[in-house]
Amino acid sequence: MENALGSASRRCGLWTYDNWRKRAFDRARTAAGADQATPYALRHSFASLLLHEGRSVVYVARQMGHDARLTLSTYGHVIDELDEQPHVAAEDAIRAARQSSCVPGVSGRAARGDAG
């Protein structure tokens, strides 16, 4: 079956994980200068950003395509870490990360120019 899928992928241009990784992800990662990024790390970041926005576990689970219990067991530490932090919109957190190596309320360290 795997060989048939591989042949169909080459003939029809279907996307498999491996060719998506080579054709799209690796090029985008290089262009962004994020050589260490992996699809898993980006997925984890997406879920963490949603939780930092204050989204519910059920909402995040739906976005991730899995059960709320799995989301809670996987990202429970993020919920605990952000418990006392103010909610930050994902776009704001991403913008701050692009401008600094530390994001207040996310990285656990003060951003450049912050006293703490």
43 pLDDT exceeds 50?
yes
**What per-residue confidence (pLDDT) applies to 70?**
94
**Would you say the pTM of this structure is higher than 0.85?**
no
Assess contact for 16 and 9: CB atoms under 8 A. yes
| Whole-number Å distance between alpha carbons of 7 and 11 | 6
pLDDT in tens, 59-103: 999 999 999 999 999 999 998 988 888 898 988 988 888 887 555
7 and 31 part of one domain: yes
Assess contact for 71 and 51: CB atoms under 8 A. no
The residue segments making up the domain with residue 5 are 1-37
> What value, to the nearest 5°, has the Cα angle with vertex 12 and ends 7 and 15?
85
33 and 46 part of one domain: no
Number of separate domains in the chain: 2
The shares of helix, strand and coil residues in the chain, as percent rounded to the nearest 5, are 65, 0, 35
32 and 56 part of one domain: no
